[in-house]
Amino acid sequence: MKIKILILEDNPLIQLGYKKAFETIPDFEIVRIVSNGEEGLIVLDSEEIDVILCDLNMPRMDGFEFTKRCMSTKPKPILIVSDLVQSENTEEIFKVLNYGAVEVLPKPKIGGDISLLRLELEKKIRILAGVIVFTKKESASKLRSFQRVDTTIDFPSERKISKDTLVMIGASTGGPQAFQQIFAAVPSDFPAPIFSVQHISNGFGQGMVEWLSQICPLKLHYLTDDTEWEPGHVYFPKDDHHLVLDGTKVRLEQSEKVRGHRPSVDQLFLSLTEYQCKKTLAFLLTGMGDDGAIGLKRIKDFGGYTFAQDEASSVVYGMPRVALELGGVCSVLSLEDIVTIFKTGVY
């Protein structure tokens, strides 16, 4: 079965580049190439589309407005491919992610030759073709689910996060949007430190932290040096560095990539001592692959409490699925329920 693709791009040379890039991929079908968002919305009314590739800077209706309208009426997985997607334009990147785009990819700076992105585009399109998206205006309560996985473990029916708790979060594709919902709900008196790893392209980490800082009442750190961690603070690693705990310090490492990732969720989770695991609340959110699954199981095995985001609310159900299959998950929750834990401090 072919993956049906709609492309929004007003530059004729880049349109041609898309055609050349995909002509040798037998299961890719370009349904239409249009030059603005108005035309894109018309195509969505008449054609079956699996994935949308969308520029941002277009006449009549730009990619921002198209994304907003598409995701509120006929939601589809949208990959933004634009020369505005650069490390110096983080405001635009996270604005369009907030409107509901799933992923972003910068156009090549060398002449805008889109065929240079062929392998990266193919990989992302195949992932997005399996993504189920929901209207941006829908209430997340429609996705509500709670599943107690390991009924042999005697956990109290209610626990509270305290200043002694260590909170860990790992995410990949769809993670920035999930972090946004979590940090918008967390109260200013949240008692525990939060250590966070998000797979993101180099150059965009600091912009993501600055974007999240606008809606989070806690102090967010884009960590550039080792430091003593504090309760009620949030820590993200510098681009291309692992984040690890070392006693009362949170450190950066630039050791080998873990299954292609630096930062790696597993590198953070596996850095905990057995004693720290007992005090840990760990969340593995949306994302492709398996990073974090091994570390999550170790935290659970040593007495910590572990959560995986459920399939319905995940943009890509990869990392949480593998963790569940490994037996590393205490509870499977919708994103809404995860947000509630951070809002109330009760789990």
Query: Which residues lie below 8 Å from residue 24, measured CB to CB, with a gap of 6+?
Result: none
Indicate if the pLDDT at residue 151 is higher than 50. no
- Catalytic, 172? Answer yes
pLDDT of 88-136, one tens digit each? 667 778 888 888 898 888 887 766 678 778 898 998 999 899 887 766 6
Q: In angstroms, what CA-CA distances link 158 with 1, 149, 150, 245?
A: 47, 16, 16, 27
Average pLDDT over the chain, rounded to an integer: 90
Instruction: Name the catalytic one among 172, 264, 313, 331.
Output: 172
Specify the length of the chain in residues. 347
Indicate if the pLDDT at residue 288 is higher than 90. no
Indicate if the pLDDT at residue 284 is higher than 80. yes
Q: In angstroms, what CA-CA distances link 46 with 3, 4, 39, 40?
A: 16, 13, 11, 10
- How is residue 91 written in tokens? 């405001």
Q: Write down the pLDDT at residue 142.
A: 38
- Catalytic, 314? Answer no
- How is residue 14 written in tokens? 């880049």
Phi, psi of 93 (to 5 degrees): -60, -50
Instruction: Name the catalytic one among 55, 82, 196, 199.
Output: 199
3-state secondary structure of 266: helix
**DSSP code for 160:** B
Instruction: Report the percent of the chain where pLDDT is more than 70.
Output: 91
Q: Which residue has the tokens 């401090």?
A: 345
Instruction: Name the catalytic one among 291, 310, 314, 334.
Output: 291
CA distance 229 to 268: 14
Evaluate whether 71 touches 135 at the Cβ level (below 8 Å).
yes
Indicate if the pLDDT at residue 300 is higher than 50. yes
Q: Which residue has the tokens 């979590």?
A: 182
3-state secondary structure of 155: coil
pLDDT of 166-204, one tens digit each? 999 999 989 999 999 999 999 999 999 999 999 988 888
Query: Which residues lie below 8 Å from residue 169, measured CB to CB, with a gap of 6+?
Result: 179, 182, 194, 195, 196, 197, 282, 283, 285
Query: Which residues lie below 8 Å from residue 151, measured CB to CB, with a gap of 6+?
Result: none
